[in-house]
């Protein structure tokens, strides 16, 4: 059985996590917000109900919606970070395969992100309770935020390395072109001398 104080704590936690996910992804978590709306609906029924059994039922429903809002807000944050990490991986796939470009570290960070993704596949009913689930989500979210931060820091370094790599390729191409033009010019000169062109 839930108490009004417990539901208030759940509601506050859900609000905080929704705001956190909004700040992180700059998007609103509509499913989580809807869950809080439903919780508010049940809380208003709880307040206006005089029958104690029905009050407890409404309070329980409000608590369940708050719990769902908490899960939804964590999920949107985790999915957002996974999407950002995946985008980074795609953008720098050629560099991250090269050990000289911190490929081992980046590969480790990607592997960590994939492990974190597994928590989304767990059934919340399989956990030891909401507190256990929240602890798992917090741990995963902290790992992903750290991974995202480290990749974000690597971003300009990798951009510079990619620019240098492209410039080196362009310079090599110019050198090869100059050599080819020189060889062709020499061949034309030799043929014109020999053939009397």
* Cα–Cα dist 192/85, whole Å: 61
Nearest to 160 by CA among 99, 90, 95: 95
* Cα–Cα dist 10/47, whole Å: 17
What pLDDT score was predicted for residue 96? Answer: 54
What pLDDT score was predicted for residue 99? Answer: 52
Indicate if the pLDDT at residue 194 is higher than 50.
yes
36: in domain: yes
* Cα–Cα dist 88/101, whole Å: 14
146: in domain: yes
What pLDDT score was predicted for residue 125? Answer: 59
* Least confident range of 76-90, 92-106, 175-189: 92-106
187: in domain: no
Q: Which one has a higher pLDDT value, 8 or 100? A: 8
129: in domain: yes
* Least confident range of 26-30, 163-167, 173-177: 163-167
Sign of the C-alpha dihedral computed for residues 64, 70, 74 and 79 taken in this order: positive
What pLDDT score was predicted for residue 78? Answer: 85
Q: How many domains does the chain fold into?
A: 1
pTM summary value: 0.69
Average pLDDT over residues 2-13: 92
181: in domain: no
Q: Domain span at residue 97?
A: 4-155
Q: With pLDDT > 90 as the criterion, what percentage of the chain qualifies?
A: 28
Indicate if the pLDDT at residue 127 is higher than 50.
no
118: in domain: yes
Q: What is the C-alpha radius of gyration for the chain, rounded to an integer number of angstroms? A: 29
What pLDDT score was predicted for residue 66? Answer: 94
171: in domain: no
179: in domain: no
């Amino acid at each position: 059985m839930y108490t009004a104080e417990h539901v208030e704590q759940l509601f506050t936690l859900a609000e905080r996590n929704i705001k956190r996910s909004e700040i992180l992804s700059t998007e609103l978590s509509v499913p989580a917000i809807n869950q809080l709306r439903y919780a508010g609906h049940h809380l208003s029924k709880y307040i206006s109900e005089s029958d104690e059994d029905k009050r407890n039922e409404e309070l329980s429903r409000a608590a369940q919606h708050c719990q769902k809002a908490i899960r939804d807000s964590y999920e949107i944050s985790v999915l957002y970070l996974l999407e950002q990490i995946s985008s980074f991986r795609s953008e720098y796939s050629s560099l991250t395969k090269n050990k000289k470009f911190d490929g081992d570290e980046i590969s480790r960070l990607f592997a960590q992100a994939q492990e974190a993704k597994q928590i989304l596949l767990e059934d919340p009913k399989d956990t030891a309770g909401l507190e256990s689930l929240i602890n798992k989500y917090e741990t995963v979210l902290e790992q992903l935020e750290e991974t995202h931060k480290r990749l974000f820091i690597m971003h300009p370094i990798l951009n510079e390395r990619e620019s240098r790599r492209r410039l080196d390729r362009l310079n090599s191409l110019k050198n090869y072109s100059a050599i080819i033009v020189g060889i062709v010019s020499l061949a034309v000169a030799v043929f014109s001398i020999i053939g009397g062109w």
